[in-house]
Amino acid sequence: MNLSELLKNLRTEEIIGGTDVEITGLSTDSRLTKSGNLFFCYKGCNHDSHNDIAEAVQKGAAAVICERKLNCNITQIITAKGREQIAPAARAFYGFADKKLKIIAVTGTNGKTTTTYMLESIFKAAGKKTGVIGTLGVSYGGVFISPELTTPDPIYLHSVFADMVAAGTEYVFMEVSAHALYFDKINGIRFETGIFTNCTQDHLDFFKNMREYSECKKLLFKEGRCRRAVINSDDALGVALLSEVKGAMSYGIDNPADVFAVNVRESIEGISFVLNLFDSLYEVKLNLTALHNVYNAMAAAACAKLCGLEIGVIAKGLLGLKSVPGRLEHIAKYNGAEIFVDFAHTPDGLEKSLQSLKKLCKGKLYCLFGCGGNRDKLKRPLMGAVAAKYADFCILTSDNPRFEDPYDIIRDIEEGIKSSGRQYVTVTERDVATEYAINLLADGDILLVAGKGGEQYQEIAGIKHSYNDNTVIKNIIG
């Protein structure tokens, strides 16, 4: 693509050099830059890529978008905010592939992954060709790509959209994180529907306070970004959004809503309820348990109905979803006890999962979990307090300690447990802790292994070691 054509879609302040330059690709990493690439420079939170221009030129960059004049011999396009130009440049370079897809965005602290999987199952039941982008990776048309970020960076994201279009994909269900909204990763995309699940404490290592975090979540619903909105009326931020977003549809159980559920019945095997979908009633069954999955199902059903699908097809699609990797996933029955793996890594997420399992537990409820290193420290004692409130016994262990000492993380969690008087042990090695917990189980007990969900790694001192809770559990029980 010629640089002059690409620049028609960008905001520029000054251009130094010629624009009749052929661009072969886009790059934000000087180490990965290739001949003919347009390289982006901007000042980030921890790194200023203007310092990498020499390497980018050496690797063959043909032009650079930057925030200040640089000492280099390639065309420079100077702009106020380099990062803001990445998304529009990526859209243009990949032929505005996003316009050829019907994209549904899901944002919220918890429930994003499950909601996208429910939507995928529903639309497949309706005979549609679908794609999913999120925490568990990218999938479409028989292709699966391992995950890196919940919402991919714009260059990769739009390249995926282009591949999806080539594969004949019609609908895409993608998770949109608060970080993606903050860093303008989705700028320019016109979503068919935006879904809001909930907003509870998380990522305060980055956003500093809940007000900043909440305001960032609201960015998905700014005017012109979503054709339709589906919002949780039982969430405080959801209530605020419903008063601000024109024409938004609501779902909930406790507060009045356009879509709601009654006669909810939970069991280990799954959950059933009567769904009122815009005044149409239908008996719905899920293979997933826990009340929060009723909320996820209502969000998915509301979205599907607004997209023109019939309630019978929607119910069929919901029933067709057998499980979501690491989302309150029933892994095994052992010694008369049930074992679940869950991604719950926030106080609210852990509370909802334990609350649901407590209602189903006939014996003792065990909770094994840790907290991620170099992330929100304030939530650690809160998660300890939640675990102590619902579980009969807690096993504290490592999650992804990253560059922190696992013992320091566990000590932070302990602060929330000690005052409760609840019994607990600490076992730093996660696989050893898991085996210890499994050996405690007796008939009627339930073990929740929380925090990592479907992750395929454990990050320690900057290295990602192969690790999966599901695999470890199955190896232990044979």
What is the tens place of the pLDDT at every residue in 133-148? 999 999 999 999 999 8
By CB atoms closer than 10 A (0-12, 13-18, 19+), residue 19 is: middle
What lies within 8 Å, CB to CB, of 73 at 6+ separation is 57
290-300: average pLDDT: 98
Q: Is 90 exceeded by the pLDDT of residue 46?
A: no
The tokens for 257 are 């809503």
Q: Is 90 exceeded by the pLDDT of residue 41?
A: yes
Identify the band that residue 21 occupies on the pLDDT scale cut at 50, 70 and 90: very high
Tell me if 173 sits within 8 A of 131, measured CB to CB: yes
By CB atoms closer than 10 A (0-12, 13-18, 19+), residue 116 is: buried
* Pairwise CA distance, residues 428 & 370, whole Å: 9
Identify the band that residue 97 occupies on the pLDDT scale cut at 50, 70 and 90: very high
By CB atoms closer than 10 A (0-12, 13-18, 19+), residue 44 is: exposed
The tokens for 102 are 């019907």
25-29: average pLDDT: 97
What lies within 8 Å, CB to CB, of 46 at 6+ separation is none
User: pLDDT digit string (tens) for 346-402?
Assistant: 999 999 999 999 999 999 999 999 999 999 999 999 999 999 999 999 999 999 999
Name the 3-class secondary structure at 119: helix
* Pairwise CA distance, residues 340 & 445, whole Å: 11
Q: Where are the alpha helices (DSSP H) in 274-405?
A: 291-306, 311-320, 347-360, 379-390
79-107: average pLDDT: 97
Name the 3-class secondary structure at 262: strand
* Pairwise CA distance, residues 430 & 437, whole Å: 10
* Pairwise CA distance, residues 306 & 303, whole Å: 5
* Pairwise CA distance, residues 84 & 309, whole Å: 36
